[in-house]
Amino acid sequence: MAKVRKMIDMCSDNDMLKDSVLYREFLAEREEILKHKWLESEKAGYDIGFERALVDWVLNHRAKWKQSRRTARA
């Protein structure tokens, strides 16, 4: 019975997490990185990999992207 209760609690926590602003922002940022990876891979003619796309996006695009999201929410 304790295991079932723990599973129910974990599911509730999972649902709460998925509904959180933090999680939605994480998913939106991840989607932008994946788009960036695709575009940069197309330019390079090969798959540049997630890590390279992530670093490039964070260094060159993240601040502007975050600012535009803040502006859109206001």
What does the block give as tokens for 15?
A: 């649902």
- Cβ atoms 53, 37 nearer than 8 A: yes
List, in order, residues 6 or more apart from 41 with CB less than 8 Å away.
47, 48, 53
Indicate if the pLDDT at residue 15 is higher than 80.
no
The Cα 71–Cα 39 span in angstroms is 25
What does the block give as tokens for 45?
A: 């003619």
The Cα 33–Cα 54 span in angstroms is 6
pLDDT at 21: 87
pLDDT at 67: 95
Q: Which of 46, 72, 40, 73 is nearest to 59 (CA)?
A: 40
Q: Across the chain, what does the average pLDDT equal?
A: 87
Average pLDDT value for residue range 33-55: 98
**How confident is residue 73, by pLDDT bands cut at 50, 70 and 90?**
confident
Average pLDDT value for residue range 10-28: 79
Average pLDDT value for residue range 16-30: 87
